Amino acid sequence: MRVLAINDISCVGKCSLSVSLPILSACGVTCDVLPTALLSTHTGGFQGYTCLDLTDELQAILAHWKTLGLQFDIIYSGYLGSIEQIRLVSDIRREFLKANGTFIVDPVMGDGGKLYAGFTLTYIERMRALCKEADYVLPNVTEACYLADIPYEKTPSIPLLMQKLTTLCPRPIVTGITENNVISVKYVSEYGNESYSTKSVEGFFHGAGDVFSSAFVGCLANGKTQEQAVRLAADFTTAAVKRTAKEVPDKRYGLNFEAEIFPFLKNLFGEKK
Ligand code: PXL
């Protein structure tokens, strides 16, 4: 099983590739990487971070890969620094995804009701088009509202949100919906709208979306169903968030997910979920 993770490398702050690589490897999956940008830290809360856009290098890497005839079972995209990179990811899907492969888009654009630095309305428009090519999209609630073109609410109307998102992608999975001490993942199955909730922890936890998405991909790569993958990934993320709330004073430095990998793997490989 070969997964291609397309995402940035934030050298410090535990998000994107520095989260996907360890989690997918722990899941027993080959994680090949296509780094979209190199940042000194992620952009959430640090001042003065550096960012090297790698678009030109991506073209050279892809040209080389073509000569190798590489094909992937799963392509999973995350933080894309520019509209040009969105177009490139669409090309990569067409050229490098196996005929029966799975394309998963985490439309990383914002959180807490706001877009991250550098993202624009045109970017959102292009991201909608990329979502139309995906088998699964994994927005948080902020990204979901932007994609669905509805005003941001912490707890939006789920039927409306899911109905709008399914016009983009048949299987939207929206993370981080908080209500009355629980945090839920809302998703769509063949039976309609579904929800999986765990106990919420007060506060904002950087990189939680990347931990969830990477674990979800790792579970699918191991043959789990969508529902099983949602549950396993949500339990893992919640456990990491709980631990981080107790152990990590500065939440910009990301989740202590490493300490929860072993229990996650026990659930993934050992127990029925
Ligand atoms: O975790 C999402 C993310 C990924 N990559 C970069 C980011 C962020 C969120 O702020 O800044 C560079």
Best residue among 6, 7, 8 to mutate for probing ligand 1, ranked by most atoms within 8 Å of CB: 8
CA of 182 to the centre of ligand 1 (A): 24
Q: Whose CA is nearest to atom 1 of ligand 1?
A: 207
Quickly name the fold that domain 2-265 has.
UDP-N-acetylmuramoyl-L-alanine:D-glutamate ligase (3.40.1190)
Specify the ligand 1 atom closest to the Cα of 78.
4
Alpha-carbon gap, residue 171 to 222, rounded angstroms: 19
Whether 8 is in the pocket of ligand 1, judged by its Cβ within 6 Å, is yes
pLDDT recorded at residue 273? 47
Closest Cα to atom 6 of ligand 1: 42
> Is 119 near ligand 1, meaning CB less than 6 Å away?
no
Q: Is 210 in the pocket of ligand 1 (CB under 6 A)?
A: yes
Q: How many CA atoms lie within 13 A of 176 on its CB side?
A: 27
Domain regions of the chain by residue span: 2-265
Q: How far is the CA of 270 from the centre of ligand 1 (A)?
A: 32
Amino acid at 88: L
Bridge partners of residue 178, in order along the sequence = 183
Q: Which residues in the chain come in under a pLDDT of 50?
A: 273
DSSP 268: I
Beta carbons within 10 angstroms of residue 194's beta carbon: 17
pTM metric for this prediction: 0.97
Helix (H, G, I), strand (E, B) or coil at 4: strand
Which pLDDT does position 213 carry in this prediction? 98
CA 123/CA 128 separation, integer angstroms: 9
Q: What is the DSSP string of 11-78?
A: EESS-THHHHHHHHHHTT-EEEEEEEEEEEE-SSS-SS--EEE-HHHHHHHHHHHHHHT--EEEEEE-
Q: Crossing angle for the helix pair 208-221 and 226-247, nearest 10 degrees?
A: 150
Give the pLDDT score at 249.
92
**Strand 182-189 versus strand 173-179 pairing type:** antiparallel
Determine the distance separating the centroid of ligand 1 and the alpha carbon of 239, expressed in angstroms. Answer: 21
142 CB less than 6 Å from ligand 1? no
> Which pLDDT score, from 0 to 100, does residue 117 have?
87
